[in-house]
Structure 1
């Protein structure tokens, strides 16, 4: 195809109906996250809730990291009546969005300053919000992959990223502005102000719900809706609920029993943070073990259909390894797990770095959050456009190179110190690179999934891509204390170099849009 025609095709993709659909779905996916984190945290602090209790609410978002656990149910189980009316994907999208809106309304009707019981209800609503939002992500990812060819995936990912960031801006800065405008401040808490704010946020979910109702169901040759009876699916769903309850119970109870050990371990290691991290890992492992044990008992006593479990959980894994063979499959998983390590590890400590250089909160908000947001959106659309023009693999390599190379600019900023112009330059380069890399990476992940197990496999990939970077990111503060900012930034640059080798190797063995 001539160069000019390829550019015209790439630009024309901006107006494709599927691309516009992903912009709206991205908005509805980006809305819930900050309603659990920053906006809710500020609400709770204004309501007089202790800081230690506020941080516990971040656990409500654990569903994002473990969504692959119930992704098979979303992939396989039909929703009575709704699936027949809307189809396999649209029914689950609408159901998840309804759950999100209901959870936000529940939060809006709960005053955390009214006592312990309302605070518990607020926590339950936040958990419901996190679970429903993670479920929405599972289905939207599956819808995106199934509704268009690989050539359009990068542009759809770009639109999704853009919508997601806009949703975060509305739920973050927008919610705070509304709450203050309605009359709630740090020194003068007013429940009605936050109630009105969260009710407006719930109303914003109409964007995604309307989109789900007007779009077409993606064409798919595989439809598991009739594979098993309703009782079989309900039994599986009930077992999953019991397993989740077992996880929550063990995780909560172990926190009480291990509190003394946490303190003693921190004193013995002379590092309370590391000691606490180790105890939390034990608690998490114990909770997962309890959930797995419940699942195994359910299978042993034949409370669930073993073949359904095999088809839902084992078959997607076997399918992936059979298509890519053992060696290549593990290298692909290594690439997925390491691709974003440079920017995520640096990002954990970035706000602290800006403050240490003397930048004010207003400067950080305007440059890093607002200006950086638009740079990320621009980078995302550039990544989609270039992926269509030059191929996903080439832009995947370019994104990995830029994402690690821009970390060297932070070394320059550390050398010059408080320099607002240089901060703009660094944020522009870093966010453009991150947006470009994300668009190509999402398109790459989409190409790896099988149409039969779209939701499950992509949920596993998206969980894996942040797992290793977040584990390393937890030690970023310790690394900075030990070696200083310049050396730390250089280390994060080096972390990205093995990714280039992995991309190069995989490009020779994968038939992705080259």
Structure 2
């Protein structure tokens, strides 16, 4: 009897192992995002923090947009014992667990600056984990597995968000859920991240091929330190000079408007933040060149050597911009606009909605097999744009515009509803459309980012691309809070819809440049 069929079976089992690992990695990546995003917004809202301040605290996610600065170190160096990528992954997950535990013990009103600093550290550790997860996934999956792998990654990611950004909302509802406090939720999430570190250490396949560029280690470390010093200097200069410059620029424009002084101050804080970013990022780039941070510079040169590289970065920023606007203050809108209860938000927007995102991602992954990358991005982008109008409709018509349903009480041990909960029909419809289209768009978008990476610099490339992808989500937050407070919710969601149009226009313009990305690249060594 021939033993030859054993090899395909072993290959199929190895492929299933790789895809299962992608789901686990997606879960680990998705869990912290809500904890510095919508869950944190809910904690701040119930603590009495004003809307504009909540929007400004969206800037704690800035590490997501700068992670390409330290990603080269994760390309160049490997921690001992666990192999390439895995050591960094376990370390970042353990740091995340520690920072979430400290955040749980800090009052957002009594120690706001400390709370914000801890949230920044959580975002830094989360961004570092994402660097490793994205690079590991890109290195691990064969090119033919990337479409399905993208969908499964979104599956794990959204399942984690169901936990940290959905079930958690039910837990904290005093009437319907378990009556937990937000610090208790954050302590549990810290324990979950510690468990993820254990699983990562035990279950992840090892990457045996060394792909990092052989640069001088000492020079790379000095280059990274130079970038850190430049960022610290930029922050100090921005804190000292940004506010007076913003006051000088905006003060004469805002005073005649009759706007409330507190709101004028928020606009000036926003401008000071943007001026600081505009000063700090070029300073860090200059420091990297001056210190010959070769792993970073080599990775950037490698990316920009491909045709259309700069235009693709513009598309990455713009493609999800409308979604970023709509989602930036979604939790404060649902709590303070139509005034849905936390349990209803948790059930509809965070649980049902996120499951629909998973369904959308799986549909998107399957559709990409027939449509291809560019047509998928275009179709799903149009659907995402249209879905933003649903929130405008909800802001105009409010609660009770459509008949809803009654969700029966349940107790599953880890989550419960104490009594039957009415589910608003308008909320359910809007959330369903938004999450289905968002899931499809995310699956195509992740596959697009992976197609732009080269394995030699996969951590640096993916960190650069995903950093640009997070620009909308992170930088829109401070603007969104001030804008919503200034123009009201209906006009705000109209703006969010219009913000999606430039991305669609740029995608159409780049249709020929994206044609080569439709071709599956051969494995390393065969090109």
The counterpart of 1:130, out of the listed 123, 136, 156, is 123
Where relative contact order (Cα < 8 A, 6+ residues apart) is larger, the structure is: 2
* Map of 2:216 onto structure 1: 228
The counterpart of 1:95, out of the listed 74, 88, 91, is 91
Distance 1:13 1:157, change over 3 A: farther
The counterpart of 1:319, out of the listed 290, 297, 302, is 302
Show the 5 A alignment for 1:469-508: 474=479, 477=484, 484=491, 491=498, 494-495=501-502, 497-502=504-509, 504-508=511-515
- CA separation in 2, counterparts of 1:406 and 1:44? 27
The counterpart of 1:162, out of the listed 152, 155, 158, is 155
TM-score by length of 1: 0.77
| Equivalent pair of 1:26/1:164 in contact (CA under 8 Å) | yes
| Equivalent pair of 1:162/1:380 in contact (CA under 8 Å) | yes
- CA separation in 1, counterparts of 2:188 and 2:476? 37
- In the alignment, is residue 360 of structure 1 matched against residue 340 of structure 2? yes
* Map of 2:431 onto structure 1: 427
Distance 1:489 1:73, change over 3 A: closer
* Map of 2:459 onto structure 1: 455
Question: Structure 1, unaligned stretches of length 5 or more?
Answer: 1-11
* Map of 1:6 onto structure 2: none
* Map of 2:238 onto structure 1: 251
Cα-to-partner distance string for 1:258-315 (whole Å, 9 max, x where unaligned) = 575477256347363554433322232233355456556xx3xxxx5x2xx13x2222
* Map of 2:187 onto structure 1: 199
Distance 1:253 1:314, change over 3 A: same
Distance 1:262 1:28, change over 3 A: farther
Bigger mean CA deviation after superposition, 344-353 or 235-244: 344-353
The alignment partner of 1:506 has SS state of: coil
Cα-to-partner distance string for 1:216-263 (whole Å, 9 max, x where unaligned) = 123545234x6434x444433433432332233233333564575477
Cα-to-partner distance string for 1:430-451 (whole Å, 9 max, x where unaligned) = 2111101110111111011111
Bigger mean CA deviation after superposition, 91-100 or 17-26: 17-26
- CA separation in 1, counterparts of 2:246 and 2:172? 36
The alignment partner of 2:93 has SS state of: helix
| Equivalent pair of 2:167/2:346 in contact (CA under 8 Å) | no
- CA separation in 2, counterparts of 1:206 and 1:69? 26
Question: Structure 2, unaligned stretches of length 5 or more?
Answer: 1-11, 403-423, 522-527
- In the alignment, is residue 444 of structure 1 matched against residue 448 of structure 2? yes
- CA separation in 2, counterparts of 1:465 and 1:162? 19
- CA separation in 2, counterparts of 1:23 and 1:278? 40
Distance 1:68 1:109, change over 3 A: same
Cα-to-partner distance string for 1:98-135 (whole Å, 9 max, x where unaligned) = 2111222333455668x66xx65544433322211110
- In the alignment, is residue 21 of structure 1 matched against residue 21 of structure 2? yes
The alignment partner of 1:66 has SS state of: helix
| Equivalent pair of 1:397/1:503 in contact (CA under 8 Å) | no
The alignment partner of 1:86 has SS state of: coil
* Map of 2:35 onto structure 1: 35
Shift in Å, 1:376: 0.8
When you count helix as a share of all residues, which structure comes out higher?
A: 1
* Map of 2:363 onto structure 1: 382
**What is the CA RMSD across the aligned residues, in angstroms?**
4.1
Bigger mean CA deviation after superposition, 442-451 or 342-351: 342-351
Cα-to-partner distance string for 1:8-35 (whole Å, 9 max, x where unaligned) = xxxx999822222122112221222233
* Map of 2:519 onto structure 1: 512
* Map of 1:8 onto structure 2: none
Shift in Å, 1:149: 1.9
| Equivalent pair of 1:336/1:461 in contact (CA under 8 Å) | yes
| Equivalent pair of 1:105/1:202 in contact (CA under 8 Å) | yes
- In the alignment, is residue 211 of structure 1 matched against residue 199 of structure 2? yes
Bigger mean CA deviation after superposition, 260-269 or 374-383: 260-269
* Map of 2:6 onto structure 1: none
- CA separation in 1, counterparts of 2:197 and 2:505? 42
| Equivalent pair of 1:151/1:388 in contact (CA under 8 Å) | no
- CA separation in 1, counterparts of 2:312 and 2:441? 16
